[in-house]
């Protein structure tokens, strides 16, 4: 195992934040309606909003994608809610970095990478099978968005939303939208049994105008679907983080070995095996948190105890960021 002093800056700092700031506050965050903005400010101050930014904008010194994922796991082991909200940001950074819209890149990339601008994500409604729940219609000077994005986390903690709408020809239209309520953009808060402080809402667009200057790109839905399986690694680290905390609290050497094996499986998976690897990570989180509850006995169900919080968080990780292949692999694992 690498000594802490030899770890990349980003990983060392993630461990410090997780252990010294996030984990001590995790129970209080769990019981609140909105996580403290000071948590996100700290991540910005230490350069973590640049996790997915081009190297010249990052100070994290992470050598490869595996270490990027390890940062997510480490932060999630301290506070899943904070890490989850922050994790939604990186798609906007990548969009601003890769866009052909040079004016948008100029306006957004550096502020997003520095965390002066913070973004949420609203994509599922346009990309899932069946009719688009968020539609995009080309009009003079831009697009109109219509429909409901059922799950959007970080409302009130972000100033920008990275949104996908789908047009009548099944092309996805990607935009950076101001996260501000108006006559054409409204939100409905959702009460959650886990990560409630993520401030997750349903966002409704009603002929919401997005100027062309805010469009980061377009892509045929089918092309997006082909690429999607290769992008599923990232969220697996949220489950690894929850598992890691439960395992540390139980002290189980057997589960610690399984954590390493499960991380290894995620790290080497290709699009064909990734659903299995993601399912294995969610299943491990559930088992590790259940093992912690059993080892703690009745006090595990007292409010404020880590065990009951972690079990609820593991339940959330059974369904968040899922895909049909992940769901069927998990169903098989849970109903052998």
Determine which residue in the list 156, 212, 320, 333 makes contact with ligand FAD, applying CB under 6 A.
Answer: 320
Q: Contact region for ligand FAD (CB under 6 A) — 147-155, 254-262, 264-272, 303-311?
A: 147-155
For residues 149 and 144, give the distance between their C-alpha atoms in angstroms, rounded to a whole number: 14
**Interface with ligand FAD, residue 131, by CB under 6 A:** no
Quickly list DSSP for 265-288. HHHH--TTTHHHHHHHHHHHHHHH
**Interface with ligand FAD, residue 230, by CB under 6 A:** no
**Interface with ligand FAD, residue 126, by CB under 6 A:** no
185: which strand partners? 182, 205
Q: Contact region for ligand FAD (CB under 6 A) — 30-38, 97-105, 166-174, 314-322?
A: 314-322
Residue found by looking up tokens 């919401």 in the block: 208
**Interface with ligand FAD, residue 40, by CB under 6 A:** no
Determine which residue in the list 40, 68, 87, 123 makes contact with ligand FAD, applying CB under 6 A.
Answer: 123
Using alpha carbons only, what angle is made at residue 162 by residues 126 and 67, rounded to the nearest 5 degrees?
105
The packing angle between helices 23-30 and 80-87, to 10°, is 80
**Interface with ligand FAD, residue 323, by CB under 6 A:** yes
**Interface with ligand FAD, residue 105, by CB under 6 A:** no
Of 129 and 336, which has the nearer Cβ to ligand FAD? 129
Using alpha carbons only, what angle is made at residue 173 by residues 217 and 100, rounded to the nearest 5 degrees?
5
Determine which residue in the list 87, 121, 274, 279 makes contact with ligand FAD, applying CB under 6 A.
Answer: 121
Residue found by looking up tokens 């990275």 in the block: 162
CB of 326 to ligand FAD, least distance (A): 8
Q: Contact region for ligand FAD (CB under 6 A) — 97-105, 245-253, 298-306, 317-325?
A: 317-325
For residues 77 and 289, give the distance between their C-alpha atoms in angstroms, rounded to a whole number: 12
Structure tokens at 164: 């996908």
Determine which residue in the list 95, 152, 215, 277 makes contact with ligand FAD, applying CB under 6 A.
Answer: 152
CB of 327 to ligand FAD, least distance (A): 7
For residues 121 and 164, give the distance between their C-alpha atoms in angstroms, rounded to a whole number: 9
């Amino acid at each position: 195992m690498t000594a802490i002093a030899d770890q990349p800056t980003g990983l060392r700092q993630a461990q410090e934040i997780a252990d010294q700031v996030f984990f001590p506050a995790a129970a209080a965050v769990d019981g609140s309606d909105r996580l403290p903005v000071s948590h996100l400010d700290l991540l910005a101050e230490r350069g973590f909003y640049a996790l997915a930014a081009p190297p010249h904008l990052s100070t994290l010194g992470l050598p490869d994608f595996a270490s990027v994922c390890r940062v997510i796991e480490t932060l999630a082991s301290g506070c899943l809610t904070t890490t989850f909200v922050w994790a939604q940001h990186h798609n906007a950074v990548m969009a601003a970095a890769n866009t052909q819209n040079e004016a948008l890149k100029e306006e957004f990339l550096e502020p997003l990478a520095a965390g002066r601008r913070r973004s949420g994500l609203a994509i599922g409604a346009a990309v899932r099978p069946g009719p688009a729940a968020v539609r995009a219609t080309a009009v003079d000077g831009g697009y109109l968005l219509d429909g409901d994005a059922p799950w959007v986390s970080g409302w009130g903690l972000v100033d920008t939303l990275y949104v996908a709408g789908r047009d009548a020809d099944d092309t996805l239209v990607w935009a950076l939208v101001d996260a501000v309520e108006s006559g054409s953009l409204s939100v409905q808060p959702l009460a959650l049994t886990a990560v409630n402080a993520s401030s997750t809402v349903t966002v409704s667009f009603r002929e919401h105008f997005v100027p062309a200057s805010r469009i980061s790109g377009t892509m045929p839905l089918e092309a997006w679907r082909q690429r999607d399986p290769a992008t599923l690694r990232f969220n697996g680290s949220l489950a690894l983080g929850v598992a890691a905390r439960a395992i540390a609290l139980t002290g189980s050497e057997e589960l610690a070995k399984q954590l390493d094996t499960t991380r290894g499986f995620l790290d080497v998976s290709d699009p064909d095996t990734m659903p299995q690897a993601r399912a294995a990570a969610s299943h491990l989180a559930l088992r590790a948190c259940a093992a912690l509850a059993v080892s703690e006995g009745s006090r595990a169900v007292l409010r404020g105890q880590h065990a009951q919080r972690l079990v609820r968080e593991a339940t959330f990780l059974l369904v968040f960021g899922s895909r049909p292949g992940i769901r069927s692999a998990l169903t098989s694992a849970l109903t052998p």
